[in-house]
Amino acid sequence: MPRTEVEIAIVGAGAAGLAAAATLDRRGHEATVLEADGYIGARWASRYERLRLHTVRRYSGLPFRGLQRGLPKYVSKDDYAGYLADYAEALGLDVRLGQRVERVEPLEHQWRLRTSRGELRAKAVVVATGRQNGRSLPAWPGLESFRGGIVHSGEYASGREYAGLRALVVGIGNSGAEIATDLVEHGAASVAVAVRTSPPIAKRDILGVPVQLLGILLMPFPAKPVDRLGAVVRRLGTGDLRPYGLRRPEWGPFEARRPPLIDVGFLETLKRGGIRIRPDLSRMTPEGVIFADGSEEPFDLLVAATGFATGLEELFDLAGVLDERGLPRAREDGSTIHPGLYFVGFRESPRGALFEVNRDSRRLADSVSRYLA
């Protein structure tokens, strides 16, 4: 029978949770990972079919056991899901599948986790559920009247299902750009992308150099001048996108501490007319949408590439744990103002989220060790 008291409970068996468990194990601690899904890698396996890592294999592995050299430079989502399962098995990590954590509460010198399989107590808790634990869908005016189909990017699998339809993708992050391209490739009647804020767009490789490597090399330098230099380099790779409807980028990756939109076919499709750029969506009608400039257009399908939410508000009723965006208020080592409570895997940067997970899990293990000592 599983123990109901553990030394360290880790919430989430994604890359961050497994990396945290591995680094804590190397320091002699017992970490128990609680995963809501029925198998490791389920979140990766369920994403859209064409998805590949935007970061190179060498800098996307976890501590002590990197990605296999036989895999391609940019690993597919299914291969990465398999890697996570192999990682947990090879390192002998204690992962309890099908156990959803519903609440995390402080006790005296302990933490109580209320789960779908009962209560668990731990000396320390590491939350590693990530930034994409819930789907964000705006309450657009007229949403309920739209007669077409609506699918969130987190539910989208392949454009094969939507061949022949007039499609609108709302949002131009990495998912939105790739899904728009996928819809064109699978024979959608027309594809448009509604853009509120123009992002910086970079080729995945610039003059043969992975854009992630440039992010790693330039991260230590002042953000503003690096972003100015980056804008010049990106434009050399993408050209002037204003004739195609995209304004100059409204934020810089290094100042914003988040990666740019990585182009893996979107720009080529845009430039040959397969994708049209439209203004932000203002409201919906039974037949389509009205854009921010007042123009109206009919659509059969709306893909909401409108982002995700952490869902952390459901776990905690503690002051000072989350910011106004629902992200954790954590220090560089993952610690918080509440002793024994840690977060890992929520950092974005031009170096890549998985690169940061590898580094942050090691810092976190040092911090947890000091706390438990």
Average pLDDT over residues 83-106: 98
Span 209-215, mean pLDDT? 93
Q: Residue 233: pLDDT band by 50, 70, 90 thresholds? A: confident
pLDDT digits (tens, 9 = 90+) for 199-211: 999 999 988 899 9
Residue 191 has pLDDT above 70, yes or no: yes
Classify domain 5-133+310-372 at the CATH topology level: FAD/NAD(P)-binding domain (3.50.50)
Kindly state the percentage of the chain with pLDDT values over 90.
Answer: 91
Across 93-126, b (16+ Cβ under 10 Å) vs e yields bbbbeebebeebebeeeebebebeeeebebbbbb
Average pLDDT, the chain: 95
pLDDT per position as a tens digit, 271-287: 999 999 999 999 999 99
- Which band of pLDDT confidence, cut at 50, 70 and 90, is reported for residue 1? low
| pLDDT, mean of residues 235-241 | 87
pLDDT tier at 368 (50, 70, 90 boundaries)?
very high
pLDDT for residue 337: 96
Which pLDDT tens digit goes with each residue over 109-142? 899 999 999 999 999 999 999 998 888 889 999 9
Q: In whole angstroms, what is the distance from residue 105 CA to residue 138 CA? A: 30
| Structure tokens belonging to residue 245 | 């409807």
Taking the alpha carbons at both ends of the chain, their separation in whole angstroms is 28
User: If you average pLDDT over residues 63-91, what whole number do you get?
Assistant: 97
Planar angle of CA 128, 136, 336, nearest 5 degrees: 30
Query: What is the spatial distance between Cα 160 and Cα 52, in angstroms, rounded to a whole number?
Result: 18
pLDDT of 329-345, one tens digit each?
Answer: 999 999 999 999 999 99
Assess contact for 62 and 56: CB atoms under 8 A.
no
Give residue-wise pLDDT tens across range 287-322.
Answer: 999 999 999 999 999 999 999 999 999 999 999 999
Q: Give per-residue pLDDT as tens, 143-189.
A: 999 999 999 999 999 999 999 999 999 999 999 999 999 999 999 99
Read off the tokens for 256.
Answer: 């914003």
Q: What whole-number distance in Å separates Cα of residue 236 and Cα of residue 82?
A: 37
- The pTM of this model reads 0.94
pLDDT value of residue 3: 72
- For domain 137-304, give the CATH number: 3.50.50.60
Question: Which residues of the chain does CATH 3.50.50.60 include?
Answer: 5-133+310-372, 137-304
User: No. of H helices and E strands in the chain?
Assistant: 9, 21
Q: Is the pLDDT of residue 194 over 70?
A: yes
The mean pLDDT of 258-279, rounded to a whole number, is 96
CA 160, 162, 164, 169 torsion-angle sign? negative
